[in-house]
Amino acid sequence: MKLIGVDIGGTGIKSALIYCKKPADGSSYKIMHRSSVPTEARFGREHIVENICKAIENYRARTDCPVIGIGSAGDVDDATGRITYATSALPGFTGLDLRGAIKSRFGGRIVVINDASAALVGEVYVGGCKGQRPMMLTLGTGLGCAMIEDKSKLGSGSVNNIRLGHYILHEGGRDCRCGSKGCAEMYVSATGLKMNGDKDKVEDILYDPKYAYAVDAFCKDFAEVLEYACEKYDPDEILIGGGVVEMAEQWWDKLKNMCAPSVADRLEKAALGNRAALLGSAYAALNGDYGKQLSYNPD
């Protein structure tokens, strides 16, 4: 059967047409086509919702998919699909009934979950992650984080979104979109990397040796966040995903060298790369409470 997966970030909205043979068998999930539209967050909430619909319409116009899974930045009430908190990266999203807005347009089964949670669901069910206490960090416009405390007890509510991106890394540091200063996501994200090198594009920094200092600073901050995460949550595997991981060859070894061995040993690049949240949101939409199979009749 066919599904649509959507991944809403502060810069782009990715969408994919996904095919799966068996709903509960993650290994049968394949992306048939993917595309992306700009979020254009500066134009506000209605405009962003319109762009999300555009991202869905691309595929809905061509095929009749009754199931749409959406991963969104911010805190999401999984049961209702309402955004309970979002920074100004998605202006006006706090309080938005995103599920309702999309359902009124397209109908069918719509599920909205946090984007880092979606990426973790993707890695666990589709990507085959081995950890028993896996944590996912997604580096994009912001820094997303989700964790499963015990993979042997997957089911309703087992994937927790953690606001690690707003942990104060540098007291009195850079202004964050949440209103605080010095939050981790202003350093450990595409945004942070661009600020470190004062450039508009991450590629311009990562692929130009002139900006090695900016990459060093990014890795040093990243290592500190990882150390904090290990101490506080003790994950046995930390998966790194999001847009910045697509260029990991430019910073991965540097980061590992800056981490204590006990931290470095837990790091893994997301096996599904930047596709984890697309596949994970589709999987979650079809299987309900992250693994608890809902009665759904695939055609």
Examine residue 178 and tell whether it contacts Zn ion (CB under 5 A): yes
In the complex, minimum distance from the CB of residue 178 to Zn ion, in angstroms, rounded to a whole number: 3
Residues 221, 259: Cα–Cα separation, whole Å: 10
In the complex, minimum distance from the CB of residue 166 to Zn ion, in angstroms, rounded to a whole number: 4
Which region among 44-52, 113-121, 173-181, 190-198 touches Zn ion (by CB under 5 A)? 173-181
Which region among 8-16, 176-184, 230-238, 260-268 touches Zn ion (by CB under 5 A)? 176-184
Among residues 102, 176, 193, 245, which is the contact residue for Zn ion, using CB under 5 A?
176
In the complex, minimum distance from the CB of residue 123 to Zn ion, in angstroms, rounded to a whole number: 25
Residues with Cβ < 8 Å from 175, sequence gap 6 or more? 181, 186
Q: How many CB atoms lie within 10 A of CB 58?
A: 18
Examine residue 184 and tell whether it contacts Zn ion (CB under 5 A): no
Residues 241, 54: Cα–Cα separation, whole Å: 25
Which region among 67-75, 94-102, 158-166, 235-243 touches Zn ion (by CB under 5 A)? 158-166
Which region among 30-38, 135-143, 170-178, 187-195 touches Zn ion (by CB under 5 A)? 170-178
Number of residues near Zn ion (by CB under 5 A): 5
In the complex, minimum distance from the CB of residue 171 to Zn ion, in angstroms, rounded to a whole number: 13
